[in-house]
Amino acid sequence: MTGVVVLGTSGASAADVLAVARADARVELSDEALAALAASRRVVDALAAGPDPVYGVSTGFGALATRHIGPELRGRLQRNIVRSHAAGMGPRVEREVVRALMFLRLKTLCSGCTGVRPEVAEALAGLLNAGLTPVVPEYGSLGCSGDLAPLAHCALVLIGEGEAEGPDGDVRPAAELLAAHGLVPVELREKEGLALLNGTDGMLGMLLLALADLELLYRSADITAALTLEALLGTAKVLAPELHTVRPHPGQAAAAANMRKVLAGSGLTGHHQDEAPRVQDAYSVRCAPQVAGAGRDTLAHARTVAERELAATIDNPVVLDGGGVESNGNFHGAPLAYVLDFLAVAVADLGSIAERRTDRLLDRARSHGLPPFLADDPGVDSGLMLAQYTQAALVGELKRLAVPASADSLPSSAMQEDHVSMGWSAARKLRTAVRSLTRVLAVELYAATRAVELREGLRPAPATRAVIAAVRAAGTQGPGPDRELAPELAAAEEFVRTGALVAAAETVTGRLA
């Protein structure tokens, strides 16, 4: 466990979410947050004692909100919404996603706008700090009224029911795990079950995790594009700053600058073949900064949306500063769903252009002197032919994953919830797309480093040499006779995923944008 994150009333940062989700940082509640929780609870208690029906306090939920619930049934009402809404199906959601959504729900509770008691927030922090991760099935959220089913499975553990994974990785009944860690199940009171479920926390958590991963992958893509340009004896003149100043998209300028840094000092760039002189390189090489740059600008937009959501309080009803409790529609996931889908489109296109560069490296007719498929003895050896097949299959999947989930809506709750965002689905497919993009770039890296090594007599850029040395030390081999490629491709994937590729290049280039 590393670090401590202190939650107040003003929200959390993306770094806080990553620290809790991926580094198991400890969570503490500030005195300010505890005071705000107590103050808003007093408002709910006053309303609960009054005669007027208040949604979430003394009524049913969704299409059943017309029924007034008496005081003697309200504890049961809150338990029942957790139990009934824990209706997910399918494989388990990843531990980091569950920790992110739990932390983000806790962040909203600490805003003092949900009306739960301080002990409910403290109990949720206790689950995180004990390393207890509720078992959350993948299917169940429509991304509207919050990520209801996923959050319900988390709340179920809070009340001592359902299953959770302990810090040792074993899945056990929640009651056993709570007892083993000295934690007591929560007895829910008015509004508290609803407040634990009604947020966009799963969507936002997955968006923040994807943004962190994609920031690394876009830098990785600049490096693999530069290596391919070098291996194809292309020209680096198209990366000149003045060419990108005249089209002032910031992401494009950053991508071009990264490629320039990687290619500095190369002895391969600009060596056009005498028998087939090239005035221009192919689009997949020449337009690499434009495509990667557009994706970077998409990331910037998505980051803005995520930061706004991090500062938000998502609950229905919400306790306002003036002491009122009002219903609202802030749980609708449209803002997140749109950018999650937008990122999937950008990811698919980045994977697509990387695959086109790889294919060019392997095609004797377009590789400018490289052997077919970069094979040792073409015909006897197939070289990297099937590595490109795998890459093409991954890109095909990326294109399918780019179909927007947010353009669809299936009504629910007897038409009371008649328009939903499908943001959870958008987030799930983006996670798959990020994994696939990592593999696509790993194949380009594997092919480009082999191709550079086959350019005998020409000296690669210092950054390229650093990358080749590092990726070979990580478990890949250079040119040679055919061998099983899967283990080396897996090593290349890990090299990209962990940031080792970027780290190797940056030993020469300095920090890449």
pTM of the model: 0.95
- Is there a cis peptide before residue 317, judged by omega within 30 degrees of 0? yes
Residues 233 and 337 in one domain: yes
Q: How far is the C-alpha of 501 from the C-alpha of 492, rounded, in Å? A: 9
3-state secondary structure of 91: strand
Average pLDDT, integer, range 110-118:
94
| DSSP-derived 3-state class of residue 45 | helix
Give the CA distances from residue 449 to residues 118, 260, 311, 361, in Å, rounded to whole numbers and listed in that order: 56, 17, 44, 11
Range list of H helices, 273-384: 283-286, 288-310, 334-362
Is 121 a member of any domain?
Answer: yes
Q: Which residue among 131, 164, 199 closes a domain?
A: 199
**Residues 339, 341: Cα–Cα separation, whole Å:** 5
Query: Percent of the chain, pLDDT > 70?
Result: 98
Whether 376 and 318 map to the same domain: the answer is yes
472 belongs to a structural domain: no
Give 9's pLDDT tier (boundaries 50, 70, 90): very high
* Cα–Cα distance, 466 to 263 (Å, whole number): 12
Phi, psi of 352 (to 5 degrees): -65, -45
Dihedral sign from CA coordinates of 354, 355, 358, 359: negative
Local confidence band at 213 (pLDDT 50, 70, 90 cut-offs): very high
Which sign, positive or negative, has the C-alpha torsion 102, 103, 106, 111?
Answer: negative
Residue 500 included in any domain = no
189/277 same-domain check:
no
352 shares its domain with 367: yes
Nearest to 219 by CA among 510, 497, 506, 502: 502
Q: Give CA angle at 120 (323, 151), nearest 5°.
A: 100
pLDDT for position 273: 53
Question: What pLDDT shows up at residue 63?
Answer: 66
Q: 74 lies in a domain?
A: yes
How far is it, in rounded angstroms, from Cα 90 to Cα 84?
17
pLDDT of residue 276: 59
194 and 232 together in one domain: no
Based on the fold, state whether residues 212 and 173 are members of the same structural domain: no
Mean pLDDT along residues 299-317: 94
Average pLDDT of the residues in 112-136:
97
What is the average pLDDT across 215-222?
A: 98
Whether 412 maps to a domain, the answer reads: no
Backbone angles phi, psi at 273, to 5 degrees: -75, 135
Do 227 and 295 lie in one domain? The reply is: yes
* Whether 173 and 273 share a structural domain: no
CA angle at 297 for the pair 295 and 300, rounded to the nearest 5°: 115
Residue-by-residue DSSP string for 71-86: GGGHHHHHHHHHHHH-
Would you say 142 and 197 are in contact if contact means Cβ atoms under 8 Å apart? Answer: no
For 99, the domain range is 4-199
Q: Is the pLDDT of residue 1 over 60?
A: no
* CATH number of the domain to which 288 belongs: 1.20.200.10
At 22-56, the pLDDT tens digits run: 999 999 999 999 999 999 999 988 888 888 887 77
Q: Are strands 4-7 and 26-29 parallel, antiparallel or unpaired?
A: parallel
* Residue 474 forms part of a structural domain: no
Quote the number of domains for the chain.
Answer: 2
Name the phi and psi angles at 311, rounded to 5.
-85, 0
Per-residue pLDDT tens digits for 248-290: 999 999 999 999 999 999 999 986 655 556 778 999 999 999 9
Q: How many CA atoms lie within 13 A of 395 on its CB side?
A: 22
- Residue 186: give its domain's CATH number: 1.10.275.10
pLDDT band at 439 (very low <50, low <70, confident <90, very high): very high
What is the Cα–Cα distance from 149 to 156, expressed in whole angstroms?
A: 10
Residue 283: inside a domain: yes
Q: What average pLDDT does this structure show over 67-95? A: 91
Pair of tokens at residue 71 = 């005081």
Q: Would you please indicate which residues are annotated as catalytic (active-site) residues?
A: 55
Question: DSSP for 109-165?
Answer: HTTT-S---HHHHHHHHHHHHHT-EE--EEE---SSSSSHHHHHHHHHHHTT-SEEE
Coil/strand/helix, residue 247:
coil
Q: Are residues 157 and 13 in the same domain?
A: yes
φ, ψ for residue 351, nearest 5 deg: -65, -40
Task: Give me the pLDDT at residue 11, please.
Answer: 87
Token pair of 344 as six digits: 């999937």
Give the number of other Cβ atoms within 10 Å of residue 448's Cβ: 28
**The two structure tokens encoding residue 261:** 């840094």
What digits encode the pLDDT tens for the residues 400-436? 999 999 998 888 877 778 788 889 999 999 999 999 9
C-alpha 133/C-alpha 152 separation (Å) is 13
Beta bridge partners of 258: none
| Res 345: pLDDT | 98
Residue 22: its H or E element? helix 14-23
Range name among 138-147, 335-344, 359-368, 413-422 with the lowest pLDDT average:
413-422
